[in-house]
Structure 1
C-alpha cells in the first residue's frame, strides 16, 4: 500500500480543512440531483402483474403493503439456476437494516426474481434475510422492467438496459425500480436505476471509501466482483459472476 506523507498537526489540519470543501460540494451536488430525480415525469403502469409470495399470489398493488411508495430490487435469480449472484447478495445484505426504517417512512422494499418461490426461499433462509422476496415467474414483469431478456432480444441486439442497447450475454441483470401508488389506486413507475446505480445502496462501500486503502479493487474486473463473496463463503473463493454492476 502506498504510504501518504506524514506531516505536522498544522499541515494536517490545513489539508483536511481544504478537502472538506470538496466533501461539502459533493453533498450539495447529491442533494441537487436527488431533487431533480423527484421532479422526473411518471409512467402509469397499465398491466396487472401477479407475483408468487409466501402469503400466496399478490398483485403489484399488494406489494406496497398499504404504503404509497415501493422500491423493488431486481435480484438476479433465473428459474432453475444453481448460481448465486454475489453482487445481488452484496446489495441484499444491506436491505434488512434499511427496511427497519423505510417501512415507517411510507416505503415498502421488496426483492423480485424470476425463479419460482420454491427456489428462492431456501436461499433466503440460508442467508438469514427477512425482507420480502417474491417471484415474477408467471408474469412479464422482469421483461417489461428491462432487467430480463429473451434469446431473440439478445441475439438481435435489441435488448434495452439502462436506457441503452448494450451487447448482452446474460438473460437477467440487476437493477432497482421505484413505484408510487396514488389515492385512487393508480400505480406509476417513477424511477429506475440499473448497472452501477445500485451501488449507492451498498453501505459497506461508504465505510471503505473513508479508509486508507479505499475499495482496494485490484483484480481483473476492478469491481467488487473481484473480492466480494456470499457472506457465508469468504473462505471459498468462487468464480466471479457475469451479472456484475
Structure 2
C-alpha cells in the first residue's frame, strides 16, 4: 500500500463533505444524462435479423418475450472462440442476477454472440448463468451496430503493436489476436410498439461500466482500480481466480 496523507477525524470529515458535494453534483448530472438518453429518437429496425435460440429460430421482435423493452448485451464470443471473453464474462456475472429485476420492470435482458448456439450454452452451463443467450445467424446484427470488424479495418491496430493484454485475452479465448479483436462488446436497447421493434440506445467501451459493478466498488477503495502499468489484465473468469494468468505469446 503506498504512503498516503494521514489526518484527524475532523480533517477527514471536512474533506469528505467537500467531496460529497461534488458526488451529489455528479449524481444530478447523471440523472440529467439519463433523461436525455431516454429522449433519444427511436429508429425502426427494418432489417429482418434472425437468431438461433434454445426454442428455435426467432426474429428480433420475438426476443422481447412478451415485454415491451429489450436489452441486448453483445458478448464477445466469435465463431473461432473456445471460451467467452473473460471481460465479457465478468460483465455477464453482473447481468445474470439482475435479469429477474429487469423483468419486473417490463425489460427482457439477453446476450447475443456469433458463436454456434451449442457452444454458447455449454459455456453458460460452465459459468452457472441462466439468462437467455442467442446466436446470430450471420454477422449483420453485430456488424450493423459497430461490434464486428473486418481485417482491413483492424490493420492499423494490428500493425501498430498489439498490447500484451489483448494477446492475453486472445489466448484465454482460444483464438489468435485477429480472431479475438474481430468481435467487439456492446449494449443495445429496443422498444416494441405496435409490433415494430425500435432501436433506442447503443453503447460500448466505458459506456458498459454500469454493468461492471466491480469497478464502481474498486473506485471507492484506497487503491482504486490500480491497473496502470500492468502487463496482464487482472480480470479472470470467476472459476479461474487463484490460477496464474497465461503469459501473452
Tell me the distance in 2 between the aligned counterparts of 1:105 and 1:156.
43
Tell me the distance in 1 between the aligned counterparts of 2:223 and 2:152.
44
Matched residue, 1:162: none
1:84-103 mapped onto 2 (5 Å cutoff): 84-103=84-103
Tell me, what secondary structure is at the counterpart of 1:191?
A: strand
RMSD: 2.2
Matched residue, 2:40: 40
Confirm or deny: 8 A CA contact 2:139 2:148 kept in the other structure. no
Tell me the distance in 1 between the aligned counterparts of 2:10 and 2:45.
58
Matched residue, 1:165: none
Tell me the distance in 2 between the aligned counterparts of 1:122 and 1:97.
19
Stretch deviating more after TM superposition (188-197 or 142-151): 142-151
Match of 2:236 among 222, 229, 233: 229
Is 1:191 matched with 2:198?
no
Match of 1:218 among 222, 228, 236: 228
Is 1:206 matched with 2:199?
no
Normalization by structure 1: what TM-score? 0.85
Matched residue, 1:238: 245
Tell me the distance in 1 between the aligned counterparts of 2:207 and 2:69.
19
Matched residue, 1:16: 16
Matched residue, 1:176: 187
Q: How many residues align?
A: 227
Deviation, 1:150, is 3.4
Query: By percentage of residues, which structure has more helix?
Result: 2
Matched residue, 2:171: none
Matched residue, 2:128: 128
Tell me the distance in 1 between the aligned counterparts of 2:20 and 2:56.
51
Tell me, what secondary structure is at the counterpart of 2:124?
A: helix
Change (3 A) 1:26 1:240: farther
Deviations 1:211-234 (A, max 9, x none): 11111213446xxx6200011111
Normalization by structure 2: what TM-score? 0.84
Deviation, 1:91, is 0.6
Structure 2 unaligned blocks of 5 or more: 158-176
Matched residue, 2:81: 81
Tell me the distance in 2 between the aligned counterparts of 1:21 and 1:7.
20
Confirm or deny: 8 A CA contact 1:178 1:190 kept in the other structure. yes
